[in-house]
Amino acid sequence: MESVDVLVVGAGLAGLHTATLLARSGREVLLVDRRSNLAGTIRTTGIFVRRTLEEFALPDDCLGPPIRHVALYPPSLRRPVTLVSRRDEYRVGDMGPLYVAAAADAAAAGVRVVLGTRYVGRLDDGYVLVDDDGARSVRARFVVGADGARSRVARDLGLDRNRHLLVGAEEVFAVPAGDGPPTFHCVVDPSLAPGYLAWVVNDGRHAHVGVAGYGARFPRGVRHALERFGAAAPGLAGVERPAEVERRGGPIPVGGLLRRISCPEGLLVGDAAGAVSPLTAGGLDPCLRLSEIAASALDDAQHAGRPYALTHYDGAALRARFRGRLLLRRGLAQVRTPALATAAFVGLRTPLGQAAARRILFT
């Protein structure tokens, strides 16, 4: 049976970053992903916030133009609240090439990246992987679950699993350069996006048009809501939607960081750990930061030779950082009618309301 120090399951940003950091510290790392091509089956919008852009080295050629404008719309789409930052607040990643570049960095650090390989589960003292040649077992000192919101690794390790999920759908297509500034448009309309938002990100190169909400509250499903929104979405004046678009979708955990995200056999990172902002549903910044903590904890545990060294990788302690946004998430989830959403904009148009929005959107 093949043996490695760490088996990482999932080659999203969290898994790639964790694996690279571990390999750079001298650990033998095997990273597997069921996709045969990392540039395909993208699930995230790919929005990077200012903190991430300032503190993490991301390939500039994989990032779109900077965005400083955010427009917030009531259900009527009239009289949006427009916020403008003095700094570059967002850039949208071209996630396919970015994943490929991150995988190349991981391989250069010594990670063995194996694609087209599915994690099945634990069996005796190994982990079963399946590819086109069949099943095989790998023995790993630790396993890292970077395998998404519905993590199989979390199930096998007996760790917490995400229970509070939104479902989202998005279309992405190229747009011609326009006269207006790159803008992030957000629509609060429970009839379109129950418990969350509909959005258009138009950075002058690509448009991302999407909706997300609680799955059980979509009367005719999230895809129908996306079609309805796309027919009148703001921020696309003069843009003709092409016949062929890239379609994305999937579950989004919004319950905050899970409490139990490690055990003596391994730990969780990224969406598997619930490392997504409960309010904004932005997950790229939390996943990178949690991955650094995870890699450090795993390296310490390997060096000490004591499996219980992972106990300080504790979601309950880290969860406190999300307390305010968890409360706001519960509040947004209660906005169930367009009339209530419209009423909320009365407060949002005040100086105090705009200051609060700036604090959420520009930090």
* Domains assigned to the chain: 2-361 (3.50.50.60)
Other CB atoms within a 10 A radius of the CB of residue 77 amount to 13
pLDDT digits 0-9 by tens, 33-83: 999 999 888 888 899 999 999 999 999 999 999 999 999 999 999 999 999
Residue 307 has pLDDT above 70, yes or no: no
Residue 265 has pLDDT above 80, yes or no: yes
Q: Which residue is it, tokens 């519905």?
A: 150
Other CB atoms within a 10 A radius of the CB of residue 58 amount to 18
pLDDT at 178: 75
Which percentage of the chain shows pLDDT scores above 70?
99
Mean pLDDT of 295-312: 82
Residue 18 has pLDDT above 80, yes or no: yes
Q: Are strands 126-131 and 134-145 parallel, antiparallel or unpaired?
A: antiparallel
| Spatial separation of the C-alpha atoms in residues 355 and 361, rounded to whole Å | 10
| Mean confidence (pLDDT) of the chain | 93
Residue 160 has pLDDT above 70, yes or no: yes
CB 148 within 8 A of CB 13: no
pLDDT at 304: 75
7 Cα distance to chain centroid: 21
| Spatial separation of the C-alpha atoms in residues 18 and 328, rounded to whole Å | 30
